Amino acid sequence: MVAPSLRARVRAGMLDEIKTVARRHLDTDGANLSLRAVARDMGMVSSAIYRYFPSRDDLLTALILEAYDALGEAVEAADRAVARDDLRGRWHAVCRAARAWALAHPAEYALLYGSPVPGYAAPDDTVGPAQRPPIVLVGILHDGLATGRLTPPPDEELPDPLREDLAEIAAGLYPGMPEALLARGMAGWTQLFGLISFELFGRINRSLPHRDEYFDHQTALMADVIGLPRSP
Amino acid sequence: MVAPSLRARVRAGMLDEIKTVARRHLDTDGANLSLRAVARDMGMVSSAIYRYFPSRDDLLTALILEAYDALGEAVEAADRAVARDDLRGRWHAVCRAARAWALAHPAEYALLYGSPVPGYAAPDDTVGPAQRPPIVLVGILHDGLATGRLTPPPDEELPDPLREDLAEIAAGLYPGMPEALLARGMAGWTQLFGLISFELFGRINRSLPHRDEYFDHQTALMADVIGLPRSP
DNA sequence: CCGATGAGAGAGCACTGCTCTCGTCGAGGA
DNA sequence: TCCTCGACGAGAGCAGTGCTCTCTCATCGG
């Protein structure tokens, strides 16, 4: 491992500082991030930023990538902190961690799961980190199957094309997972995302002051749907 | 009813035309609507738009209001077109109508349910139209209760504060609706929104080509959770 | 030590939302 | 019928944006 030159280290520091300042602007001003404002905050001129990021969208992409990883790390850490065989506890921990991260970083969450920025297409680098939360959720189901604590739902009538799609997804994660169970896991993930988005984008607050309880109840409902056992 | 003056009629026509052109721009360029571009398309100068909308945000608000009403109308029409006692049929019709409207008007859907435009606060006029879809969904539950076709879920252990919140919401819609059932209805609404958003914001297409089947299966799953009877 | 390279500054372009002013023209009242 | 007031559109202008180009200077590698 060769020691990086001074220039390289300074450059890495600048990259970090730009992203930090940009993240701060994101949290206050929302998604329409101003490159010039970031540069101004750093005592630089806007054109200097282009030495580090070829365009504003690239800066956004970097922020999105880091946000995906931060969310994924938070979710995985929450899962790790619970005993492996406490399936329902893991489920709730993961859901709460995702919500907590979103509430703590609303602008970044909006960047990840809000309406796509027009004219901006997320590069392929993002699909990996983006799948970490749902993979954790499905991992709980897999562990439940493996230890026999989770009995898969009765094999309901799935249309063949859908069954094949689900089987292919399962093959990439945990081969042999029953399609109906995977579908329910995805329902849980969709529900989790919908819950957080509703809460964050302000379509629920008015008439539902006790949001923690509501969130826990709704995620518990999905845990029931999936069939996670009640007590560890 | 007094006949509106020529000037008033011309003004109303201009308002409509501006909104129409703006909607067209919305569908192509996304949420960052350019007032100047709209004016250009109408052969006007940008400042002239300000005779009709005091700011860009007000134009956006008008579009949002109309979009809420269009979605609400589509959903209510779908509900009306099904026999009242076919609860599950109504549920699916409403869900499909919402999805179809969203797929047909992605930019407007993003305006309604995507990340909030920074610095823009939706005025109170929007809460009414915004609640039309969930009210339709809950109406299905209410009809099911009234006709005895829907048996409410066992009264699960709801924390008291949550039960009170739900009771208050129920009081404003259908007094006496069991809180646990209302909660499941809201879960269905959250799920529907999450499904559409995932599909529209491109976080699902890659690995799930048969989206119609997936959507129907997921909404059927929520119909099961709510307890809607299988056949009419 | 010296040339190549990276970094920052500054000017400039096309664009944005928005404000202000200035003619013009139509509708309603005297 | 005339006249006044108000609505309307045009145009210039301001501050801000992303981005490009050029110029200068410090740093690094050979």
- Tens-place pLDDT, residues A189-218: 999 999 999 999 877 667 899 999 999 999
The pLDDT, as a whole number, for residue A115 is 84
Question: What mean pLDDT, rounded, does chain B reach?
Answer: 92
Q: Residue B183: what are its φ and ψ, rounded to 5°?
A: -60, -40
Each residue of A157-178: pLDDT tens digit? 899 999 999 999 999 999 989 9
Interface test with B, best of A115, A126, A163 (most B CBs within 10 A): A115
Each residue of A67-95: pLDDT tens digit? 999 999 999 999 999 999 999 999 999 99
Share of chain B above pLDDT 70, in %: 94
Nucleotides of C under 7 A from a protein CB: 6-12, 15-21, 26-28
Question: At residue A92, what is the residue type?
Answer: H
Each residue of B49-72: pLDDT tens digit? 999 999 999 999 999 999 999 999
Question: At residue A89, what is the residue type?
Answer: G
Tell me the CB-side half-sphere exposure of residue A36, using CA atoms within 13 A. Answer: 0
Tell me the CB-side half-sphere exposure of residue A5, using CA atoms within 13 A. Answer: 3
Cβ burial B162-183 (10 Å sphere, 16+ → b, else e): bbebbbebbeebbeebbbbbbb
Question: At residue B197, what is the residue type?
Answer: S
Any idea what the Cα angle at residue B112 is, between residues A107 and B28, rounded to 5°?
95
The pLDDT, as a whole number, for residue A219 is 98
Question: At residue A170, what is the residue type?
Answer: A
Segment A23-34 mean pLDDT? 89
Question: What mean pLDDT, rounded, does chain A reach?
Answer: 92
Q: Flag if A168 and B194 touch (Cβ within 8 Å).
A: no
The answer as to CATH 3.20.20.10 being correct for domain B66-226 is no
The pLDDT, as a whole number, for residue A3 is 55
Task: Give the integer Cα–Cα distance in Å for A25 and A33.
Answer: 7
Tokens describing residue B57: 């945000």
The shortest CB-CB distance from B194 to any of A183, A193, A213 is to A193
Q: Which of A217, A18, A211 is nearest to A102 (CA)?
A: A211
Task: Give the integer Cα–Cα distance in Å for B196 and B199.
Answer: 5
The pLDDT, as a whole number, for residue A222 is 98
Cβ burial A106-133 (10 Å sphere, 16+ → b, else e): bbbbbbbbbbbbeeeebeeebeebbbbb
Each residue of B74-90: pLDDT tens digit? 999 999 999 999 999 99
Q: Flag if B217 and A114 touch (Cβ within 8 Å).
A: no
State the pLDDT confidence band at A1, using cuts at 50, 70 and 90.
very low
Task: Give the integer Cα–Cα distance in Å for A232 and A189.
Answer: 22
A210 vs B contacts (CB less than 8 Å): 159, 161-162, 164-165
The pLDDT, as a whole number, for residue B230 is 85
pLDDT above 70: residue A4:
no
The shortest CB-CB distance from A115 to any of B114, B184, B193 is to B114
Q: Which of A178, A184, A40, A25 is nearest to B119 (CA)?
A: A25
Closest residue in B to A219 (Cα) is B187
Share of chain A above pLDDT 90, in %: 79
Which residue ranges make up each domain of chain A? Answer: 1-53, 68-226
The pLDDT, as a whole number, for residue B97 is 98
The pLDDT, as a whole number, for residue B119 is 64
Each residue of B132-144: pLDDT tens digit? 999 999 999 999 9
The shortest CB-CB distance from A29 to any of B30, B118, B168 is to B118
Q: Flag if A197 and B195 touch (Cβ within 8 Å).
A: no
Fold of A1-53: Arc Repressor Mutant, subunit A (1.10.10)
Fold of A68-226: Tetracycline Repressor; domain 2 (1.10.357)
Each residue of B121-174: pLDDT tens digit? 677 788 889 999 999 999 999 999 999 999 999 877 899 999 999 999 999 999
Residue with the larger pLDDT of the pair B17 and A4: B17
B193 vs A contacts (CB less than 8 Å): 194, 197-198
B126 vs A contacts (CB less than 8 Å): none
Say how many residues make up chain A.
232
Closest residue (CA to C1') to nucleotide D20 in the complex? A47
The pLDDT, as a whole number, for residue A88 is 98
Q: Flag if A186 and B218 touch (Cβ within 8 Å).
A: yes
Closest residue (CA to C1') to nucleotide D17 in the complex? A34
